[in-house]
Structure 1
Amino acid sequence: MTSESLLLIGRETGNAHEVFETHAERLTRRTDVDDVSIATYESEPVRELQAQFEAISTDRTYVIPMRAAHTHDTIEDVPAALSYISGNVRYCEPLGRSPAVTEILRKRAMNLVPAGEDASLVIVGFGSSSKPYHRQTTEYHAARLRDGSDYGEVLTCYLLQNPAVECVRYNVSKRRSVAVPLFVTRSEATDERIPDALELGRGGIEYADPFGKHPRITDAIRAEVEKQRTLTVEEPSASVSFETQLTRTRRPVATDGEGFLQ
Structure 2
Amino acid sequence: MTSESILLIGRTTRNAHEVLEAHAERLRRRSAVDDVEVATYESEPIRELKEQFERISADTVYAVPMCAAHSHDTIDGVPAALSSVAGDVHYCEPLGQSPAVTEVIEEKGANLIPASEDVSLILVGFGSSSKPYHRQTTDYHAARLREQSGYGEVLTCYLLQNPTVECARYNTSNTQSVAVPLFLTRTEATESRIPGELDLARGGIEYADPLGAHPRITDAVHAEVEKQRALAGDDNASAASFEAQLTRTKRPIATDGEGIQRY
With the shorter chain as reference, the TM-score category is: over 0.9
Distance 1:178 1:237, change over 3 A: closer
After superposition, the Cα gap between the structure-2 partners of 1:237 and 1:105, relative to the gap in structure 1 and judged at 3 Å, is closer
Q: Distance in 1 between matches of 2:257 and 2:224?
A: 37
SS at match of 1:83: helix
> Which residue of the partner structure matches residue 67 of structure 1?
67
**Does residue 1:101 correspond to 2:80, yes or no?**
no
Secondary structure, aligned partner of 2:254: coil
- Summarize the Cα distance change of 1:46–1:239 in structure 2 as closer, same or farther, 3 Å threshold: closer
Q: Is the 8 A contact 2:231 2:237 kept in 1?
A: no
Asked if 1:225 is matched to 2:240, the reply is: no
- 1:258 Cα deviation from its structure 2 partner: 4.1
Aligned to 1:175: 175
When residues 114 and 33 of structure 1 are mapped into structure 2, their CA distance, relative to the original with a 3 A threshold, is same
Q: 1:60 to 1:115 in 2, by over 3 A?
A: same
Q: 1:236: Cα distance to partner?
A: 2.3
Please give the residue correspondences for 1:160-239 in structure 2 after superposition, counting only pairs within 5 Å.
Answer: 160-236=160-236
Q: CA separation in 2, counterparts of 1:135 and 1:237?
A: 26
* Maintained 8 Å contact 2:251/2:259: no
Deviation of residue 238 (structure 1)? Answer: 8.4
User: Which ranges in structure 2 are unaligned for 5 or more consecutive residues?
Assistant: none
Contact 2:63 2:92 in 1 (8 A): yes
Shift of residue 32, structure 1, vs aligned partner: 1.3
- In the alignment, the residues of structure 1 paired with residue 257 and residue 132 of structure 2 have an alpha-carbon distance, to the nearest angstrom, of 35
List aligned pairs for 1:53-92, cutoff 5 A.
Answer: 53-92=53-92
Shift of 1:234: 2.6
- C-alpha displacement at 1:256, in angstroms? 5.8
The equivalent residue for 1:255 is 255
State the 1:85 CA deviation. 0.2
In 2: Cα distance, 1:178 partner to 1:204 partner:
8
Distance 1:237 1:226, change over 3 A: closer
Native 8 Å contact 1:46 1:260 kept in 2: no
TM-score by length of 1: 0.97
Given the superposition, is the C-alpha separation of residues 235 and 260 from structure 1 closer, same or farther in structure 2, using an over 3 Å criterion? closer
Give 3-state SS (helix, strand or coil) of 2:240's partner: coil
**Number of equivalences:** 261
Please give the root-mean-square deviation of Cα atoms over the aligned residues, in Å: 1.4
The alignment-based identity, stated in percent, is 70
C-alpha contact 1:47 1:260 (8 A) present in aligned 2:
no
- Evaluate the alpha carbon distance shift between residue 258 and residue 150 of structure 1 in structure 2; reply closer, same or farther with a 3 A threshold: closer
Deviation at 1:257, TM superposition (A): 4.5
Residue 135 of structure 1 aligns with which residue?
Answer: 135
Q: Give unpaired runs (5+ residues) of structure 1.
A: none
TM-score by length of 2: 0.96
Superposition deviation, residue 218 in structure 1: 0.7
| Cα offsets for 1:89-110 (capped at 9, x unmatched) | 0000000111000000000000
Cα 1:87/1:68, change in 2 over 3 Å: same
What stretches of structure 1 move > 6 A for 4+ residues in a row? none
